[in-house]
Amino acid sequence: MAASPDSGGLAAALLLAAGSGERLGAGGPKALVPLAGRPMYQFSLNAFRAAGRIGPILIAVPPGHTGDFADAGDATLVEGGAARSLSVANALAALDAGDSDCDLVAVHDAARPLVDPELIDSAVELLEASPGVDAVIAAAPVTDTVKRVGAGGLVEQTLDRSKLRAVQTPQVFRRASLADAIAAGEPENATDDASLIEAAGGSVVVIDSPSFNIKVTVREDLAIAEARIADRD
Q: Give the tens place of pLDDT for each residue, 155-171.
A: 999 999 999 999 999 99
Checking if the pLDDT of 6 tops 80, the result is no
- What does the pLDDT read at residue 4? 40
Examine the pLDDT at 209 and tell me if it is beyond 50: yes
Burial class (CB in 10 A: 0-12, 13-18, 19+), 117: middle
Q: What is the pLDDT of residue 8?
A: 60
Closest of 92, 172, 167, 168 to residue 124, by C-alpha: 172
pLDDT at 9: 86
Q: Kindly state the helix (H) or strand (E) to which residue 38 belongs, with its residue range.
A: strand 38-39
Which parts of 51-97 fold into alpha helices (H)? Answer: 84-97
Residue 172 and residue 88 in contact, taking contact as beta carbons nearer than 8 Å:
no
pLDDT at residue 1 in the model: 53
pLDDT category of residue 214 using cuts at 50, 70 and 90: very high
Give pLDDT, residue 232: 83
pLDDT tens for each residue of 23-59: 777 677 899 999 999 999 999 999 999 999 999 999 9
Asked if residue 116 has pLDDT above 50, the reply is yes
Identify whether the C-beta of residue 50 lies closer than 8 Å to the C-beta of residue 7.
no
pTM beyond 0.85, yes or no: yes
Quick check: 56 and 98 in contact, CB under 8 A? yes
Give the confidence band of 7 by pLDDT, cuts at 50, 70, 90.
Answer: very low
> For 158-206, what is each residue's pLDDT tens digit?
999 999 999 999 999 999 999 999 999 999 999 899 999 999 999 999 9
pLDDT of residue 83 exceeding 80: yes
Least confident of 24-28, 119-123, 148-152, 223-227: 24-28
Class for the domain spanning 11-232: alpha beta
* 3 has a pLDDT exceeding 60: no
- Looking at residue 51, what is its pLDDT? 98
Domain extents in the chain = 11-232
Per cent of the chain over pLDDT 90 is 86
58 and 91 Cβ atoms separated by less than 8 Å: yes
Mean pLDDT of the chain: 93
**Which amino acid type is present at position 45?**
L
- Closest Cα partner for 174 from 38, 12, 20? 12
CA–CA separation, 220 and 24 (whole Å) = 9
CA quadruple 21, 175, 186, 201: dihedral positive or negative?
negative
